[in-house]
Copies of this chain bind each other. A is one copy, B any other.
């Protein structure tokens, strides 16, 4: 990632360090098998958990003062804010994937392959952005209803662009300024312009890596629809949940818990097979790159008791035996 000319280290390195960056996996907050359908139940639990784990206040004062269907008035508890003596402290970032939003539009037009001179690709770019920003707005609203001061920020509007599908040129000063002002930026996978091929899709996982690299959060949480990273696709009988993965200085990684014989080699093969459906290899490699920076990464099932523990940061002290999820951390020792 390149920083813009006018961006200084001070812009990005906040006085107050970023506590955490949370990825809401598309599969966890949308209904995978139904086009453009939000998993309302999960999204509500996730929003509540984010408030409980990451806001300093327990009092919920909703910030989505939009008209509800069938009700002509707007729900706005002005008195509730008068009672509030101070603004809650916030220092985290939310990134979400698309799930059942955007995927149809992008894959039917080939936005990821570029070629804006083709009418279909150009239309697909427009349609993809409409779909993913619709989801973004709904997530911002769900977080705001929980009293989280969330503000939607589209990577496209932030001026982030890629070059040959790689290395986004991403000016992080706006994100940094937004956090400094006390808001929670809510970013998302988006269709963006590309210097070489015209356009592409910038995934939420790539955004996570770049944000982590430059904002240096204390820890990073990926909320998914399964318990964590498995040795085999979780539907298979021999699938084992990988509890701990260590990443070395050279980026190589190895499973340190559970310690099963020959596990490492097996995983390298089966994870690759898994990738066609679940994108686990991408997720592990992006997560490993974050862990390499010395930032602990937790991959955990959204809306579970395990995700609360990951979000609160308490796992950084000690990981309880009954905690289910995958921790990916940096290890100075040589990784086999």
Task: Report A's interface with B, CB cutoff 8 A.
Answer: 4-6, 34-36, 61, 63-67, 72-74, 76, 78, 81-82, 84-88, 104-105, 108-109, 116-120, 122-127, 129-131, 133-134, 137, 140-141, 144, 149-154, 156-159, 161, 171, 173-174, 177-178, 181-183, 193, 198-199
Contact partner of A108 (CB less than 8 A), chosen from B72, B78, B131, B134, is B78
A174 to chain B, nearest CB (A): 4
The answer to whether B119 and A66 touch across the interface, beta carbons within 8 angstroms, is no
Given A74-B105, A130-B144, A181-B199; 6 other pairs, CB 8 A cutoff: A63-B123, A65-B105, A65-B131, A87-B118, A154-B154, A159-B173
In the complex, are the beta carbons of B144 and A140 less than 8 A apart? no
In the complex, residue of chain B having the shortest beta-carbon distance to the beta carbon of A79: B120
Q: Is the CB of A182 within 8 A of B122?
A: yes
Chain B nearest CB, measured from A125 CB (Å)? 8
Inter-chain contact B151/A156, CB cutoff 8 Å: yes
Contact yes or no, A182 B127, CB < 8 A: no
Beta-carbon contact of A140 and B130 below 8 Å: yes
How many copies altogether? 2
Shortest CB-to-CB span from A2 to chain B, Å, is 10
27 CB contacts below 8 A, A to B, read: A4-B4, A5-B5, A34-B72, A35-B67, A35-B72, A36-B66, A63-B123, A64-B130, A65-B108, A65-B130, A65-B131, A74-B104, A76-B105, A78-B109, A78-B120, A81-B119, A81-B123, A87-B117, A125-B183, A126-B149, A127-B144, A129-B140, A130-B144, A133-B152, A134-B137, A137-B137, A154-B154
Chain B neighbourhood of A151, CB < 8 A: 125-126, 129, 156
